């Protein structure tokens, strides 16, 4: 397998940016999920599970390492007030380094109707704003995607071929970095959400993942050795 795409998502649940080369550090890809938007009234970090409109904004890293957020109307959000006006609730953009605790998000157990009583909190990673500390870097193959819209799954590393599930429990080298692949990544209602560019709401996406993959799609791991990875690098298991 070789790396065919690299993606980082500077702000959790917003669209991200495709890169040709990136440094993998202790928290994952440099800048990936380094910021999240928090609801100031509930205290929860917002994700597109609860606030599907997040997927219609995008974030990229500025040269100084901070995120620039472009809203659906094409304007750049100047501050938290602009984000609050867009989302219709009081929110604040926070850096992972500034949030020692309270990294809680919401997820519905009822993915068909998303009944209000089915929503429950869960605790995310204590590093970057990943859902799980076991998946600081996520990997999916073109074979597993099998024509599915890859933006629904927001993996960091897309590789050609197939067979990433066989990497679980192994160390793999990508360029100068090494990952400990720990888990298949469970999928939630977020993969059904609409996105820009004609990606429509599709609840059958999640149904198929449960039928065909036991509810998981892609694999995730932690960083065993830091280093740069580039498009074209071979994925070498050990």
First to last CA, the chain: 13
| 238 within a domain of the structure (yes/no) | no
Structural domains counted in the chain:
1
> Which of 9, 14, 54 is CA-nearest to residue 157?
9
| 157 within a domain of the structure (yes/no) | yes
Distances (CA, A) of 41 to 11, 46, 90, 112, 136: 20, 11, 7, 27, 28
| 237 within a domain of the structure (yes/no) | no
Q: Per-residue confidence of the chain (238 residues) as pLDDT tens digits?
A: 999 999 999 999 999 999 999 999 999 999 999 999 999 999 999 999 999 999 999 999 999 999 999 999 999 999 999 999 999 999 999 999 999 877 999 999 999 999 999 999 999 999 999 999 999 999 999 999 998 999 999 999 999 999 999 999 999 999 999 999 999 999 999 999 999 999 999 999 999 999 999 999 999 999 999 999 999 999 999 8
Half-sphere exposure of 29 (CA within 13 A, CB side): 30
With 0.85 as the threshold, say if the pTM is over it: yes
| 119 within a domain of the structure (yes/no) | yes
| 10 within a domain of the structure (yes/no) | yes
| 218 within a domain of the structure (yes/no) | yes
> Which of 41, 30, 50, 157 is CA-nearest to residue 96?
30
For residues 50 and 12, the answer to whether their CB atoms sit within 8 Å is no
| 92 within a domain of the structure (yes/no) | yes
Half-sphere exposure of 145 (CA within 13 A, CB side): 18
The residue segments making up the domain with residue 117 are 3-232
């Amino acid at each position: 397998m070789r790396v065919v795409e690299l993606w980082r998502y500077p702000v959790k649940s917003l669209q991200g940016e495709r890169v040709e080369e990136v440094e993998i550090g202790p928290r994952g890809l440099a800048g990936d999920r380094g910021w999240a938007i928090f609801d100031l009234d509930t205290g929860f970090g917002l994700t597109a599970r609860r606030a599907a409109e997040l997927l219609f904004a995008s974030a990229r890293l500025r040269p100084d390492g901070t995120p620039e957020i472009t809203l659906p109307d094409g304007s750049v959000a100047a501050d938290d007030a602009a984000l609050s006006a867009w989302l219709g609730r009081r929110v604040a953009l926070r850096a992972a380094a500034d949030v020692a605790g309270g990294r809680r998000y919401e997820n519905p157990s009822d993915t068909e109707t998303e009944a209000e009583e089915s929503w429950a909190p869960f605790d995310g990673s204590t590093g970057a704003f990943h859902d799980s500390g076991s998946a600081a870097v996520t990997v999916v193959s073109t074979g597993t995607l099998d024509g599915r819209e890859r933006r629904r799954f927001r993996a960091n590393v897309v590789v050609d071929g197939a067979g990433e599930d066989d990497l679980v429990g192994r160390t793999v080298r990508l360029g100068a970095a090494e990952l400990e692949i720990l888990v298949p990544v469970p999928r939630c209602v977020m993969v059904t959400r609409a996105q820009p560019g004609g990606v429509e709401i599709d609840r059958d996406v999640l149904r198929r993942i449960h039928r065909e993959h036991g509810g998981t799609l892609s694999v995730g791991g932690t960083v065993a050795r830091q280093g740069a990875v580039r498009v074209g690098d071979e994925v070498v298991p050990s």
